[in-house]
Structure 1
Amino acid sequence: MHPLLLAITASAGLGALIGLIRQWSEQADKPPGAEYNGLRTFTLWSVLGCVAAFLSSAYSPAVLPVVVAGVAAQLVARAWSAASDTAGSVGSTSFAAAMLTMLVGALVYWQHHQAAVLISATTGVLLGLKARIHAWTRGFTDADIRGTLQFIAITGVILPLVPNRELGPFAAFNPYSTWLMVVLISGLGFTGYVAMRLLGASAGILLTSLLGGLASSTATTLAFSRRSREDPVLSRHYALAVVAACSMMLPRVLVALSVFNRDLAWHLVLPFALMAVPALGYGVWLWFARRNQTHTVGAPALANPLSLRTAVKFALLYTAITFLVKAAANWEILHTGLLPLSFVSGLTDMDAISLSVVGSLNTGNIPLPLAAHAILVAAIANSLLKAGLTFSLGSPELRRHAGGVLILTALGGVGGWWLVA
């Protein structure tokens, strides 16, 4: 088949995909008989873009711009007419989708197939999720918007402005590196929080607790432990939520470590997997034990984990731990003092000590096995802390279940000590 015919066929297929999703979305909102751009229109737009790209390449470069400008003018005139008839505003989603669909056809002719497929898929998803996106945004609070703006400030405003050089005693403070760690940890927590806010409690206790653990496993443990005392009948459900949230600490740390040192992350996969065995076993057992129960449990009321105050606190904690590690290295006591420091730091924050250790490993101050052992010790301490929270704040049944699993998790970390070579 001629290459032009192949390009037209592919363009028609991608345009039809976008138009089908658009038509399905509009049918749910508009009354029968209403006019809107659907499958046929988007298919023709994509083919038009492909043919215009061919004519621009073969005859005159002005063909494609003229065709795009003509379609754009027709859409603008139609929008003005609709606005005057209904005395309301007309959204620009159809306009943007039309322009992108035409450009998809042009990209297909120019053999940028991957870009054309990506643009088509993205456009289709955004068109199809129209109603759900509107429902999501209606549920956002002022705190959610402030958190989003603060995340933008943390990543896009502050990070490019801080200096990238070592400062202070022992050259322990690098503003850029410190704030980069803030961006990484804040981003992981904020992702979990946003996902939980979007999905809501209807996603189920297990999923929401996993996402809550990604945002803040300590806060999730506190929330469900306190709730177990208020509603002890659902203690087993709350115990599963606590265990699931705390189990997210392990993969979250591995993801953060893999960004800076993959070898260290790989060394910790087996020990962390051993630590996760009690949680997995408990989850499977509880799943079968409560299959016939009809109780429902809502998601915990977690505050947005991202704020400038939280970011500054983490930066200060990370700086303090990094300073202690650098000082210990300068005084030649790092090999003997790192593990106690890791245990104490793990009681307060797992992320700060992990990133400090990986920084020392990358600079050659400590060997790989010592770095892995230090992070493992911090994980054990963190599990013991959360076990203590369940014992002090939870109901008796939650103490037996969640507290017992977290103790076994810490013991799994002790067993994983010998897996770090």
Structure 2
Amino acid sequence: MDWNQVTHGLLAALGIGLLIGAVRERQHGTTRTLQAGVRTHALLALMGAVAMLLGLPAFLVALLAAAALAWTSYRISAADDPGLTGEITMLTTVLLGGLALEQPALAAALGVVVAILLWAKAPLARLSREVITDQEVRDALLLAACALVVLPMLPSEAVDPWGVLVPYKLWQIVVLVMGTGMLGHVALRAVGARWGLPVAGFFSGFASSTASVAGFGRSSRAAPALVPPSASAALLANLASLLLFAAVIGTTSPALLRASAWPLLAGALVLLGFAALGLRHVPDEAVPETSTAKAFQLQHALMIAVAIAAVLLVSEGLRQLFGQAGALVGATVAALGELHAAAASIASLTTSGGLELAQARWGVIALLASASLAKSVLAFLSGGARYGGIVSVGLGGMVVGAAAVAWLVG
């Protein structure tokens, strides 16, 4: 028997019990409902550790004894406090005390997590009852089902004769779009209206930067003072789209993402710089109508996946007929309408060997130029000359910066 390990485990168990007991004491020490405080939880943790030291049968007896005590405590306090948190905590303390004897570091970490959960009772209750809406709960459950239920069931092998349609990878992109939309929605709710304009712009770009450019353009027409910050928000939406663009490439072809990393970083920095110019004086008006009550649009994510599948098939067909040049032309034309689908096409062809890495990197720049051209035209049509000029200059700077760096790195 290693007495150093035993001593370490007993000290860890004692610390866990004292920590959990202190939190319980702070929260309920002045009420009549507290049945287990600092001393009780410290003793429960030590009981679990000592029982584990004596063997598994002794530990089971100790756990049953703690369960009996918890039941007695609940019967006494049920009238004033019908919750089961205190009783569950008593059993958890015994379990962590037993675990501390075998794995003290893991037990201590879990003890801290338990203490945080106990301390955060009021914030968590407010979050679940007041902050989070029913729609957001439904969105979170839908995202969890897509990521944890549907994704593992999909085949990871190509299902078409050309080997370009992999259901697992396509659904990964769906989950990626939905997840980024959820994160953006949470961030927008957290910062409030003062910084809602740039935050709404950035995170709406994960859903659709094209729609964001049009939405901010329409809102800027009604409020001329909002033209510069609206244009900056549109550029931030394209920055988010660029990040998603990189994520789609990396999901399909990590090698192409590594080869394009510096050009993409240069383009992102240029976008960020132009966006910062218009955010120096952000008015306190409400957030434009670019954010919705829903955290993400499942239909939009599915449409992206369908578009990606279609572009993959078309690009592979053009490659079969005309070689690498045909594949690049097809993807570039597709980028006028859907940048991320075109990105998946280029990355997939690179992975399968249909495109050389150097050509694919310039293909990435061509996709950015094609998408930027379409969005610039949309900006002029939706927001007028001033708004369209700012947006087009920012997008053009992104393309020039990315192309310059791509040429420099060879």
Partner Cα distance (1:23, 1:390) in 2: 60
Residues 1:327 and 2:317 are matched in the alignment: yes
Partner Cα distance (2:25, 2:370) in 1: 55
Asked if 2 retains the 8 angstrom alpha-carbon contact of 1:7 and 1:50, the reply is yes
Aligned to 2:205: 213
Which of 64, 74, 81 aligns to 2:59? It is 64
Residues 1:309 and 2:309 are matched in the alignment: no
Which of 126, 133, 154 aligns to 2:124? It is 133
Asked if 2 retains the 8 angstrom alpha-carbon contact of 1:191 and 1:215, the reply is no
Partner Cα distance (1:23, 1:198) in 2: 31
Asked if 2 retains the 8 angstrom alpha-carbon contact of 1:19 and 1:43, the reply is yes
Asked if 1 retains the 8 angstrom alpha-carbon contact of 2:331 and 2:345, the reply is no
Aligned to 1:119: 110
What whole-Å deviation, never above 9, does each CA across 1:141-199 have from its counterpart, x for those lacking one?
A: 44333333332343344334445554445354443443343333333333333443455
RMSD between aligned residues: 3.3
Partner Cα distance (1:18, 1:203) in 2: 38
Paired amino acid for 1:53: M
Which of 70, 73, 76 aligns to 2:71? It is 76
Residues 1:13 and 2:4 are matched in the alignment: no
Partner Cα distance (1:124, 1:203) in 2: 33
Partner Cα distance (1:381, 1:164) in 2: 31
- How far 1:109 sits from its partner (Å)? 1.4
- The 5-angstrom pairing of residues 161-240 of structure 1 reads 161-168=153-160, 170-197=162-189, 200-201=192-193, 205-240=197-232
Paired amino acid for 2:52: A
Percent of aligned pairs sharing the same letter: 25
Which of 267, 274, 288 aligns to 2:266? It is 274
Which of 393, 402, 410 aligns to 2:382? It is 393
Asked if 1 retains the 8 angstrom alpha-carbon contact of 2:169 and 2:252, the reply is no
- How far 1:322 sits from its partner (Å)? 1.2
- The 5-angstrom pairing of residues 324-403 of structure 1 reads 324-331=314-321, 333-394=322-383, 398-403=387-392
Structure 1 window deviating more from structure 2 (266-275 vs 238-247): it is 238-247
Asked if 1 retains the 8 angstrom alpha-carbon contact of 2:204 and 2:291, the reply is no
Residues 1:52 and 2:51 are matched in the alignment: yes
Unaligned runs of 5+ in 2: none
The alignment partner of 1:248 has SS state of: helix
Asked if 2 retains the 8 angstrom alpha-carbon contact of 1:380 and 1:414, the reply is no
Q: 1:384 to 1:120 in 2, by over 3 A?
A: farther
Structure 1 window deviating more from structure 2 (46-55 vs 12-21): it is 12-21
Partner Cα distance (1:125, 1:203) in 2: 30
- How far 1:318 sits from its partner (Å)? 1.5
Asked if 2 retains the 8 angstrom alpha-carbon contact of 1:257 and 1:358, the reply is yes
Residues 1:93 and 2:105 are matched in the alignment: no
Q: 1:253 to 1:315 in 2, by over 3 A?
A: closer
Q: 1:272 to 1:50 in 2, by over 3 A?
A: same
Partner Cα distance (1:408, 1:103) in 2: 59
Asked if 2 retains the 8 angstrom alpha-carbon contact of 1:239 and 1:398, the reply is yes
Partner Cα distance (1:179, 1:96) in 2: 39
What whole-Å deviation, never above 9, does each CA across 1:199-224 have from its counterpart, x for those lacking one?
A: 55476544454333334434443433
Asked if 2 retains the 8 angstrom alpha-carbon contact of 1:258 and 1:265, the reply is yes
Partner Cα distance (1:249, 1:386) in 2: 12
Asked if 2 retains the 8 angstrom alpha-carbon contact of 1:181 and 1:355, the reply is no
Partner Cα distance (1:271, 1:339) in 2: 18
- How far 1:230 sits from its partner (Å)? 3.0
Q: 1:399 to 1:180 in 2, by over 3 A?
A: closer
Residues 1:242 and 2:234 are matched in the alignment: yes
Unaligned runs of 5+ in 1: none
Paired amino acid for 1:81: I
Residues 1:3 and 2:5 are matched in the alignment: yes
Structure 1 window deviating more from structure 2 (68-77 vs 118-127): it is 118-127
Partner Cα distance (2:363, 2:383) in 1: 30
Partner Cα distance (1:321, 1:227) in 2: 33
TM-score under structure 1 length normalisation: 0.81
State how many pairs are aligned: 405
Q: 1:5 to 1:199 in 2, by over 3 A?
A: farther
Structure 1 window deviating more from structure 2 (174-183 vs 404-413): it is 174-183
- How far 1:248 sits from its partner (Å)? 1.9
Asked if 2 retains the 8 angstrom alpha-carbon contact of 1:22 and 1:38, the reply is yes
Divergent runs of 4+, >6 A = none
Paired amino acid for 1:312: L
Partner Cα distance (1:169, 1:155) in 2: 27
- How far 1:317 sits from its partner (Å)? 0.9
Partner Cα distance (2:277, 2:112) in 1: 40
Partner Cα distance (2:70, 2:136) in 1: 35
